[in-house]
């Protein structure tokens, strides 16, 4: 049997404590087949994330983990092109070859819609975890999985209680939710909450329920839902 010891500084240790899930299994065969230092680091980090489904990581913290400095890359285009694109492609290759059972996709989060992403760093990066063993959204017999039912119920209540969307419309909209949308959905709500708060501060009249209904339809269309 092989044993490998990893040594990290205090900033990195805080990250692992934040996402503590007891035990993480690191496959040395997978590490051996990674093609870059970035994909090795991302593989280790991915296996230490305890949050199921998605993880939101501040950009500065992610750079600290990957490169030892919070300001290693100055722009999103640099960070994306020189680190994330190649590392994630490598992990997807290992997933397709059945060497690992998980891979991640990601999106940068900019609070202001339309912000020039090439010349700024995002506030955070939303990572969606895709797991071969839990990717099915329906249980045996074609029933919706309990996890997805729970997420849809949370979305329905959120739309009703926070945004005055009618129960019927909230029920309809929540039925379009898939598990791989949840990380993007959190970013969507942060952006909309920011916009609604600005409207209220400037005394701009708005029908919150109608606005959020239209926005949710757009969100689902952007994620490939048809028939809306």
Cα 46 to chain center, whole Å?
12
Hey, what are 105's tokens? Answer: 């996709």
Give how far Cα 226 sits from Cα of 55, 220, 222, Å: 27, 8, 10
Q: Which pLDDT does position 5 carry in this prediction? A: 64
Q: Are 19 and 50 in contact (CB under 8 A)?
A: yes
Q: Are 126 and 54 in contact (CB under 8 A)?
A: yes
Q: Which pLDDT does position 79 carry in this prediction? A: 94
Rounded Cα distance between 47 and 40, Å, is 11
Q: Which pLDDT does position 116 carry in this prediction? A: 56
How far separated are the first and last CA of the chain, in Å rounded? 55
Domain boundaries, the chain: 10-131, 144-222
Hey, what are 63's tokens? Answer: 């750079």
Rounded Cα distance between 35 and 38, Å, is 9
Return all residues near 171 (Cβ < 8 A) that are at least 6 apart: 156
Hey, what are 197's tokens? Answer: 């708060």
Q: Which pLDDT does position 4 carry in this prediction? A: 62
**Tens-digit pLDDT string for the chain (228 aa):** 566 665 655 555 555 544 545 556 778 889 999 999 999 999 988 887 654 566 788 999 899 989 988 999 999 999 999 999 999 999 999 999 999 988 888 989 887 765 555 568 999 998 888 877 655 544 444 556 777 888 899 999 999 999 999 999 999 999 999 888 888 898 899 989 999 999 999 999 999 999 999 999 999 999 888 877
SS3 188: helix
Question: In this structure, are strands 54-58 and 102-109 parallel, antiparallel, or unpaired?
Answer: unpaired
164 Rama sector, left if φ>0, alpha if ψ -120 to 50, beta otherwise:
left
Q: Quickly tell me which residue has 């757009």 as its tokens.
A: 218
Burial class of residue 65 (count of CB atoms within 10 Å of its CB; 0-12, 13-18, 19+): buried
Q: Which pLDDT does position 218 carry in this prediction? A: 94
Q: Which pLDDT does position 8 carry in this prediction? A: 55
Q: Quickly tell me which residue has 């990581």 as its tokens.
A: 57
Q: Which pLDDT does position 176 carry in this prediction? A: 92
For the chain, state the CA radius of gyration: 20
């Amino acid at each position: 049997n092989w044993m490998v010891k990893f040594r990290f500084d205090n900033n990195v240790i805080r990250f692992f404590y934040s996402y503590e899930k007891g035990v993480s299994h690191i496959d040395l065969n997978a590490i051996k087949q990674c093609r870059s230092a970035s994909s090795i680091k991302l593989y280790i980090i991915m296996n230490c994330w305890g949050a199921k489904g998605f993880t939101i990581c501040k950009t500065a913290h992610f750079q600290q983990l990957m490169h030892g400095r919070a300001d290693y890359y100055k722009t999103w285009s640099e960070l994306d092109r020189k680190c994330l694109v190649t590392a994630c492609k490598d992990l997807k290759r290992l997933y397709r070859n059945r060497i690992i059972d998980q891979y991640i996709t990601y999106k940068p989060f900019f609070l202001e819609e339309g912000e020039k992403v090439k010349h700024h760093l995002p506030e955070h990066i939303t990572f969606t975890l895709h797991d071969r063993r839990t990717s099915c959204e329906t249980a045996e017999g074609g029933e919706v999985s309990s996890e997805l039912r729970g997420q849809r119920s949370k979305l329905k209540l959120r739309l009703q209680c926070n945004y005055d969307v009618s129960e019927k419309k909230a029920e309809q909209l929540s039925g379009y939710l898939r598990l791989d949308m949840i990380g993007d959905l959190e970013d969507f709500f942060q952006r909309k909450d920011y916009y609604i708060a600005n409207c209220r501060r400037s005394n701009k009249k708005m029908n919150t329920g109608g606005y959020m209904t239209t926005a949710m339809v757009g969100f689902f269309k952007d994620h490939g839902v048809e028939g809306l």
